[in-house]
A = this chain, B = another copy of it.
Amino acid sequence: MVRRNEIRAGETAVQAPAATDAGLVFIGRIRTPWTDRLECPRQGRQDGPTCRIEVFEPWVAALDALGEYERLEVLYWLHESRRDLVRQSPRNDGVARGTFSLRTPVRPNPIGTQIVTLVRVEGANVFVRGLDCLDGTPLLDLKPDRSAFTPLAPRQPGDDQVGDTA
């Protein structure tokens, strides 16, 4: 079962440094059917319910041309997650493994990333399928899925760099 915020047997918490190296601005809010972490999907599915991503001003103009893409990458802030566990026990069975080997929301920087299917853009609202986050989750970013996007800028040297230099 997904945790609320307890520490489980076998897990390791650390004294985390202050999270003041950079600051985020919440650029919108995500509306989903899930109001409790114990009901959320663990991973979104592309045939899941339509969710509404509401974009705040002054960022609405940045949605221009987003509708050209079938698949988007969504970044959001997992605002209810603790940030201090380095080893976690997903099955709550006393067996723990490193946080970076898991896609758990509990991480030093609780940023969720998901690939979603675009349904439509309507004013400041982006309707998508494939999300798995709580209703009210703060939005951090939207971008075309990398596999669907070809850079529009001209080529530059690093684009052709392969292998290792001596």
Contact = CB atoms under 8 A, between A and B. Distances in A.
Given A14-B58, A62-B100, A153-B2, A109 B141 contact: yes
A39 B158 contact: yes
B154 A48 contact: no
6 contacts: A18-B23, A21-B24, A33-B165, A41-B158, A43-B146, A63-B100
A137 to B, nearest CB: 12
Interface string A30-57: 0001100011111101011110000000
Interface in A100-119: 100-103, 107-109, 111, 113-115
Interface residues of A, number: 86
Given A154-B1, A162-B47, A109 B27 contact: yes
Quickly give the copy total for this chain.
Answer: 2
A91 B58 contact: no
A116 to B, nearest CB: 12
A24 B18 CA distance: 8
Interface-central residue, A18, A162, A165, by most chain B CB under 10 Å = A162
Given A61-B87, A62-B87, A111-B75, A158 B47 contact: no
A115 to B, nearest CB: 7
